[in-house]
Amino acid sequence: MLYDKRSATFYRNKVSLSTVNGRVECDFELPSDSPTPYERYVLSNEYEFRASTLQYDAVNDEFYFHITTKKYDSDEDGESSEVSADTEHQTVLGIDLGVNSLAVSSTGRFWQGDDYDHWTREFEKRRGEMQQRGTQAAHNVLLRLGKREEAWRKQYIHTVANELVKEAVEHDCNVIVFEDLTDIRERLPHAKWHHVWAFQRLFEYVSYKAPERGVSVEQVEPNHTSQRCSRTDCGFTHEDNRHGEHFECQKCGYQVNADYNAAKNIGRRYAQERIHKLRSSPTSGSGDAPVDVRVNGGTLNGGSHQPIAGD
């Protein structure tokens, strides 16, 4: 059975698979020697996940995964090509979406979800009261309440979207990068329906507001962005790195807010994928350029740290 990056999500000691009965998580065994090929190729940001094949061994009653990857800095013929030196760099704003914080940017700005959750509960409470009455008058109130709630939700997300675009413009960002929202209900099991609605609307609103300010909007795969250390000289990925809202790298000891760490990784992933595309087609006239990832206190270009003027 074939699995692509949307139907199989790999973690350090397990894999989440999409099946006809929903997602299932399977633990697996790795060799004791480290780094294992799995760590070097699948969990590494230097390699792109391509596809995998799940194979069943009937004799031993065991399952095996065969995973193919490709190094980001190589072209289709396996030969590296240089990035054009005269292309203009882009600055990227990475955005992580979550339950406790509605959105967190790689510049370190947080859009908390407390107010959004509070008024959502108030509307739900009011609807419950009207539904219990069961009268025509209560039904009319429910209709008006539904319209008020819909208008309030849209206005709230519009405000966040405007502030997010403004954050990108103020930091001279050319690109805003979100995580791919596919399967977000499964990645965030504690998220309620109104959280998922907010994530989708925020991406939608930013997608048409940002280009008006000269900023493009992109998405990247979210795999391991919350488990990977965002320090440029580390990058260690492990599920034990994150504990709720707190991130602590088990290798280098780096401690930071987990959502902020994920936002930087989202920006970094776009940068690496962009550089890979440029190296594969260095003479392309599409306007592609190498990418700097704007973070709090500096910029990231995928391999080094450059301080921001004035910091």
Please state the pTM of the whole predicted model: 0.62
73-97 pLDDT per residue, tens: 544 444 433 333 333 467 899 999 9
The residue to which tokens 């989708």 are assigned: 200
* Residues of the chain below pLDDT 70: 32-34, 45, 72-89, 117-119, 123, 125, 127, 129-131, 134, 138-139, 141-142, 145-146, 191, 193, 275-311
* Angle, CA 175 vertex, CA 234 and CA 115 arms, to 5°: 85
> 111-117, long-range: CB within 8 Å, 24+ apart, which pairs?
111/160, 111/163, 111/164, 113/195, 113/198, 115/156, 116/156, 116/194, 116/198
Q: CB 76: neighbour CB atoms within 10 A?
A: 8
221-231 pLDDT per residue, tens: 888 888 899 88
